[in-house]
Amino acid sequence: MTNTNKKPTLSFIIPLKDEAFTIEELHQRIATEANNIASNWEIIFIDDGSDDNSWEIIQKVAKADPKHVRALRFRTNRTKAPALATGYAEATGEYVFTLDADLQDDPKEIPRFLKKINEDNGWDIVSGFKAKRHDPWHKVLPSRIFNAMLSKVNGVKLHDHNCGFKCYRREVVKDLPMYGEMHRMVPSLASIEGYRTTEIVVEHHARQHGVSKYGIKRFLRGFLDMWSVFFIKNYRERPLHLMGSWAILCIILAVTLWTISLIPGLPAGLHSAILATAPIALFTAPILIVVGFLSELITNRHYAEKTDVPIIERIDITDQEAQEKVISINTPKEEKTITTKPKALIADDDPTARAISTRILERNGWQVETASTGENALAKIKPDIDAILLDIYLPGLSGIEILPKIKLLSPSTQVIIFSASDKPKDGADAIKAGAYDFLSKPINEDDLISCLNRAAEMSQSLRPANQTA
C-alpha cells in the first residue's frame, strides 16, 4: 500500500473537442483539489481537432499556469482513443486521472478516487459510476444494457465501463494498448494483464455547454469492440483453439445434414437445401483451420520477440542484504572485496525508463545518478562511477558520440549502451566505439544486473588503488 503520508504526484488527461466554454472552469476546479493533495501535478489537454476556439482557450490557460498545464493539438479529429493514448504516453504522475472536459465529471471526487485506489485490496484502476445520471433516456438505457452485457461477456463487473472519470496507477496506462475506440474497454483490456478494477459512485452533472457526442453508431461500435476484447482475452495466445472449434462444428454439421438427407420421405425442397448446405459447411472447415494456423504463426512470432512477462513483485534478497552486497574482485596478487555500493549513471531521455532503471538498480544495491541528455551525462562523469547505462539515441549528442569523451574523462568506467532498436549495426557501432556491452530494450532485470556487476568488477579492477573505495 502506498504511504498515505507522502503526497502523490498526479496527471490529469483531458481529451476534448469543441469545449471552449468549459476549459477555464475545469482547470480551476482541478487546481483547487490538486493543490491540496499532491506534491506535484499536471493537466494534459488533448485538443482532438476542435472546430471552435478551444485551442486558444487552452493556450490562455497554459500561459497563466505554465507550471501545471501542458497541451497537444491534433490537426484533425482522431477520436477519443488516440487522444487518450497520447495522454498516456505523456503522463508522468504516479496516479493518472482521465475525465471529460464538459464539466459533467466533478473534480471534487479526486480525493475519493485516491483513497479507494490505496485501499489494502490493491486496486490498479478506480472507475466512476454515475448512479444518478443527468442524460436523456435514449442515452442512459442503451448504456445500461451495454454495460450489463460487457460485464457478463468479459467478466469485469462494473456498472459503468464507459465512465470517462477514472484513476489509474501509472504502470497501467503505460501498459495498455489504446487504439480504434477501445477507450470504452479499458477495464476489460486491463484485466487481460491482471490489473484489478473497482468503482465508486460519483456525482454527475447535467451538461451546461456544448452537445453530446453520443449516437447509435457509438452503441453499435461498442458492441463489436466488446467481442473483440472477448477474443483477445480468451484466444490471443491460442487462436487455433477458436478456429479449430468452429471447424469441428462445421464438420459435425455437414455429417449431420448428410445423415438427415438419408431419411426417407423428406420434402424435395428441404432435401435439396440440405444437400446444398452440407458441402458448404464441410468446405468451410479447412479454411477455418488454415486461418487458425496462420494466426498461430503470427502469435508465435510475436511471443518469440516479446520475452518480458508482467512481473509486479519479486522476492530476492532483503533490503539490508542489498545494502551489504559486495563485489569480489580476483586479482593475481590477492582477493580484494569491495564493500561499498557500486555507482551507476543512467543517461536516458525517457523519464519513465530512467525511473524504472533507477528502481531496479537501487533495489540491487547500486547508487544511482541520472541524466536526460548527453551533455548532462558528461557533466556528471566522475572517476568513482563504475558503470554507465547510456541510451544510444539521446537528444543532442548521441550515446555513440559521447562514449569516447566518457573514456577520456574516466578511463576505468565501463559503458553499457542500450537501445529500443534491434539493428545489429547499433550493437556493432557501440562495441567499436568502446562500449563494454550492448543491450536491447526491454531489458530483462537479471540480465541487466548481471551485466552491470561484471562491468563494475572490470571498472574497479582497472581503477588506480587511490581511487578505489
Instruction: Give the rounded distance of the alpha carbon of 207 from its chain centre.
Output: 31
Q: Express each pLDDT in 431-445 by its tens digit.
A: 777 888 888 777 778
Per-residue pLDDT at 251 = 93
Rounded distance, CA 272 to CA 278, Å?
Answer: 10
CB 7 within 8 A of CB 92: no
Per-residue pLDDT at 96 = 94
Short-list 25, 6, 151, 40, CA closest to 99:
25
Mean pLDDT of 156-163: 78
Q: Express each pLDDT in 80-94 by its tens digit.
A: 888 888 898 889 899
Mean pLDDT of 171-186: 76
181 pLDDT more than 70: no
Q: Express each pLDDT in 217-265 by its tens digit.
A: 665 666 666 667 777 777 777 788 888 888 999 999 999 999 998 888 8
For the ranges 34-48, 164-178, 354-368, the one whose mean pLDDT is highest: 34-48
Bridge partners (DSSP) of residue 14 are 45
Mean pLDDT of 346-368: 85
The DSSP code for 123 is: -
Per-residue pLDDT at 16 = 92
Three cell numbers, residue 225? 469492440
> How deeply is 53 buried, as exposed, middle or buried, from its count of CB atoms within 10 A (0-12, 13-18, 19+)?
middle
Rounded distance, CA 399 to CA 389, Å?
Answer: 10
Rg (CA), the chain: 28
Q: Quick one: CA dihedral 73, 74, 77, 83, positive or negative?
A: negative
DSSP states of 308-365 as a string? ---------S-HHHHHT--EEEE-SS-EEEE-SPPEEEEE-S-HHHHHHHHHHHHHTT
Stronger pLDDT, 395 or 200, i.e. the higher one: 200
Instruction: Give the rounded distance of the alpha carbon of 201 from its chain centre.
Output: 26
Mean pLDDT of 413-428: 76
Per-residue pLDDT at 469 = 45
The secondary structure of 201-266, three-state, reads ECCECCCCCCCCCCCHHHHHHHHHHHHHHHHHHHHCCCHHHHHHHHHHHHHHHHHHHHHHHCCCCC
The topology under which CATH files domain 319-467 is Rossmann fold (3.40.50)
Instruction: Please state, for a pLDDT cut of 70, what percent of the chain lies above it.
Output: 78
- Return the residue matching grid coordinates 504516479: 94
Per-residue pLDDT at 140 = 67
CB 46 within 8 A of CB 16: yes
CB 7 within 8 A of CB 37: yes
Per-residue pLDDT at 114 = 94
Rounded distance, CA 91 to CA 355, Å?
Answer: 13
Rounded distance, CA 186 to CA 178, Å?
Answer: 8
Give residue limits of the domains in the chain: 9-133+143-209, 239-305, 319-467
Per-residue pLDDT at 122 = 75
Per-residue pLDDT at 185 = 77
154: left (phi over 0), alpha (psi -120 to 50) or beta: alpha
Q: Express each pLDDT in 123-132 by its tens digit.
A: 899 998 887 7
Rounded distance, CA 213 to CA 135, Å?
Answer: 12
Within 10 angstroms of residue 377's Cβ, the number of other Cβ atoms is 27
DSSP states of 154-169 as a string? H----S-TT-S-EEEE
Q: Express each pLDDT in 94-104 by its tens digit.
A: 999 999 998 88
Helix ranges (H only) for 410-462 are: 424-432, 445-462
Residues whose CB is less than 8 angstroms from the CB of residue 38 and which lie 6 or more positions away in sequence, other chains included: 7, 8, 9, 10, 93
Rounded distance, CA 257 to CA 278, Å?
Answer: 6
Instruction: Give the rounded distance of the alpha carbon of 196 from its chain centre.
Output: 14
Per-residue pLDDT at 322 = 45
Taking each helix axis from N to C terminus, what angle separates 23-37 and 54-64, rounded to the nearest 10 degrees? 30
Short-list 2, 31, 35, CA closest to 14:
31
| pLDDT band at 164; cut points 50, 70, 90 | confident
> 9-133+143-209 in CATH: which number?
3.90.550.10
The DSSP code for 384 is: T
Per-residue pLDDT at 334 = 41
Per-residue pLDDT at 326 = 41
What SS3 state is found at 302? helix
CB 452 within 8 A of CB 361: yes
Three cell numbers, residue 220? 453499435
β-strands 95-98, 387-391 pairing: unpaired
Q: Express each pLDDT in 361-417 by its tens digit.
A: 888 889 999 888 888 888 888 888 999 998 888 877 777 888 888 888 888 899 998
Average pLDDT, the chain: 80
List the single range of 4-18, 230-244, 344-358 with lowest mean pLDDT.
230-244
